[in-house]
């Protein structure tokens, strides 16, 4: 348990920090998460309404949760959700546009969604709202050309680089065999992530939750990633899965952190980043969330 709750307002003036549950489950769970995020100065709350799943099961509360995200936006936070298609995107963004005085939202595409027609349609829907931001993750398989290819599809819509960022969620180990629990769920390739960031001049955050798969691994990867620097550059931030009560989470229960575990990590990150970082051009123009 951390001694004190940390306020990361200083950190979020320089870094993108997204925190919140893997999936939106109930209105209470989403609003409690928003309250905890706001108290700490976290500006972007993840609470995914759609959940692509490997096997059939709970796959998100879907449209039912849109009004919860509207409530989060009314609290002055940026709600963030994965979407599966342009229809989902429009539903979320029109509701926020209609009901929130100072609207903001983050829409993202997960690792499994590799239909470029749909990717382009989603980005076009995001582009209609200047206050909306777009994030995409790397695809599950390790292939740099494919990852850069998604970026090409995204940029073919002429969305500004200042409106988008990438998330490195690691690459699939490529086996179904039972593995040692200490092994990662997905493997990072820090060099590739930094190369894509620098050469493409985009912002790059890291998702230790889906790399780790377990709380211990998530903490280990986070500590490693916050120290990772190459040629003066580093990750532009983190996306973390944080749940008010991880043991009863409906999805990814083993990897979700408590807010106290988040505090400890952010304390360390804030201390490591006392000095402002050298930024890419897109980061310099990125409107603050």
Alpha helices in the chain (DSSP H): 9-12, 27-40, 66-74, 86-99, 116-127, 144-155, 190-200, 208-212, 215-227, 259-272, 281-285
Q: Which residue, 133 or 137, has its beta carbon nearer to ligand PEP?
A: 137
Does 15 contact ligand PEP by CB under 6 A? Answer: no
- Tell the smallest beta-carbon distance from residue 138 to ligand PEP (Å): 8
Q: Which residue, 90 or 210, has its beta carbon nearer to ligand PEP?
A: 210
Q: Give the Cα separation of 279 and 289 in Å (integer).
A: 16
Chain residue whose CB lies nearest ligand PEP: 110
Tokens 């500006």 sit at which residue? 43
Closest CA to 39 of 87, 4, 81: 4
- Tell the smallest beta-carbon distance from residue 109 to ligand PEP (Å): 8
Does 204 contact ligand PEP by CB under 6 A? Answer: no
Angstrom CA distances, 197 to 27, 60, 144, 203, 245, stand at 36, 31, 12, 6, 34
Does 111 contact ligand PEP by CB under 6 A? Answer: yes
Does 243 contact ligand PEP by CB under 6 A? Answer: no
- Tell the smallest beta-carbon distance from residue 241 to Mn ion (Å): 5
Q: Which among ligand PEP, Mn ion, none contacts residue 66 (Cβ within 5 to 8 A by kind)?
A: none
Which residues of the shown chain bind Mn ion in the complex (CB under 5 A)? 22, 252
Which residues of the shown chain bind ligand PEP in the complex (CB under 6 A)? 22, 48, 82, 110-112, 137, 169, 210
């Amino acid at each position: 348990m951390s001694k004190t709750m940390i306020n990361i307002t200083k950190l979020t003036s320089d870094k993108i920090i997204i925190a919140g549950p893997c999936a939106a489950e109930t209105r209470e769970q989403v609003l409690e998460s928003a309250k905890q995020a706001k108290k700490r100065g976290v500006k972007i709350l993840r609470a995914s309404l759609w959940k692509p799943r490997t096997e059939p099961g709970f796959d998100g509360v879907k449209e039912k949760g849109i009004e919860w995200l509207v409530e989060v936006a009314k609290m002055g936070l940026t709600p963030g959700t994965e979407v599966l298609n342009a229809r989902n995107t429009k539903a979320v963004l029109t509701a926020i546009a209609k009901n929130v005085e100072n609207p903001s939202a983050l829409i993202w595409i997960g690792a499994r969604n590799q239909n470029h027609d749909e990717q382009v349609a989603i980005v076009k829907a995001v582009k209609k709202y200047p206050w909306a931001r777009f994030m995409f993750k790397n695809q599950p398989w390790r292939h740099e050309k494919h990852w850069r290819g998604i970026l090409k599809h995204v940029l073919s819509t002429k969305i500004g680089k200042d409106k988008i960022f990438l998330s490195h969620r690691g690459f699939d180990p490529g086996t179904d065999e039972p593995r040692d629990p200490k092994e990662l769920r997905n493997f990072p390739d820090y060099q590739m992530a930094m190369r894509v960031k620098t050469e493409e001049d985009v912002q790059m955050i890291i998702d230790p939750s889906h790399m780790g798969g377990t709380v211990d691994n998530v903490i280990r990867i986070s500590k490693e990633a916050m120290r990772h620097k190459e040629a003066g550059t580093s990750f532009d931030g983190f996306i973390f899965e944080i749940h008010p009560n991880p043991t009863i989470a409906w999805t990814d229960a083993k990897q979700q952190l408590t807010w106290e575990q988040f505090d400890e990590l952010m304390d360390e990150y804030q201390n490591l980043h006392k000095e402002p970082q050298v930024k890419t051009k897109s980061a310099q123009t990125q409107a603050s969330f």
